[in-house]
Amino acid sequence: MLNLNKCEIDFERLFKRAPIVLTKRTPQILDNSVYIEVRQQATFVVANKYIELAYAYYVLENFPETKSYFEKAAPFAFLRGFDPELKTSHNDWTIQQDLNIVLLFAEQEVLEKLKHSEIKLSSVQHQAKLQYVELLKNIVTGGTPEQSDIDAALLETKNTKDKDVLQYILPLIEAISALTSADITLWQASIDKAIKWHTDECKFGDYKDMEEGFICLNALTMAKLGKDLHGWQCQTNSLYLPLFLID
């Protein structure tokens, strides 16, 4: 069993209840005879349950099941984050989980839907986070971010006084800049910085008792992009960056 943070999972309860919840809730998502609020809640619950299962299997070192459940989560993460009718409330931080799961694990059909979807958030804590999410969506769905947009995001990020933005979002935007300029050194260094922040958060910060701390999805997406766009192999060695998931 992997020791990733202080979060404890009740595996017996999760594995017992998950099939019951998924069987009940999944049909509600596309059932037009029920209230839209019920459909939205069902979308949230189903996406969340598959993600919980993926994280649980990762802790248990059952890596094939980890990938399988992330792949099952991906279409529901898209609906939860981006479907005009079924999406639930997101801010510039929480949307990153759904976006990364779609980018990493969704089929091409879902990625094509994402390409034509808008990012509409209920709140924006930091403009730099929104700019990062927009840049990430652009590059993963086949676009090439304008250098002026990257520069604007970098400037916004560097001017913030928020520690997490400076130590985490800034390296991620620098990684996108490196991908567009084919700078492998900057790309690798940026992933290392993101993992350093994530590791510290799992030890001392908000991620120390959260399942989301098990994997740094943003850094994993950057590693995948480097591999897909340039054939680069990420050299970061961390339990929070399971590179086998992008093989």
pLDDT surpasses 90 at 138 = yes
pLDDT surpasses 90 at 104 = yes
Q: How confident is the model at residue 120 (pLDDT cuts 50, 70, 90)?
A: confident
Least reliable range by pLDDT among 123-132, 210-219, 229-238: 123-132
Residue 1 lies in a domain: no
Residue 213 lies in a domain: yes
pLDDT surpasses 80 at 39 = yes
Q: What is the pLDDT of residue 48?
A: 97
Q: What is the pLDDT of residue 142?
A: 87
Q: What is the pLDDT of residues 2-18, one digit of tens each?
A: 999 999 999 999 999 99
57: left (phi over 0), alpha (psi -120 to 50) or beta: alpha
As for how many domains the chain has, the answer is 1
Which tokens belong to 63? 């890596």
Q: What is the pLDDT of residues 41-72, one digit of tens each?
A: 999 999 999 999 999 999 999 999 999 999 99
> Residue 232: helix, strand or coil by DSSP?
coil
HSE, CB side, 13 Å, CA atoms: give it for residue 54. Answer: 23
Average pLDDT for 148-157: 96
Q: What is the pLDDT of residue 88?
A: 87
Average pLDDT over all residues of the chain: 96
Residue 2 lies in a domain: no
Domain extent, residue 220, equals 11-246
pLDDT surpasses 80 at 207 = yes
Provide DSSP, 190-203.
HHHHHHHHHHHHHH
Residue 36 lies in a domain: yes
Q: How confident is the model at residue 89 (pLDDT cuts 50, 70, 90)?
A: confident
Is residue 104 packed enough to be buried (19+ CB in 10 Å), middle (13-18) or exposed (0-12)?
buried
> Residue 91: helix, strand or coil by DSSP?
strand
pLDDT surpasses 90 at 209 = yes
The model's pTM: 0.96
Tokens 């020791």 correspond to what residue?
3
pLDDT surpasses 90 at 98 = yes
Residue 59 lies in a domain: yes
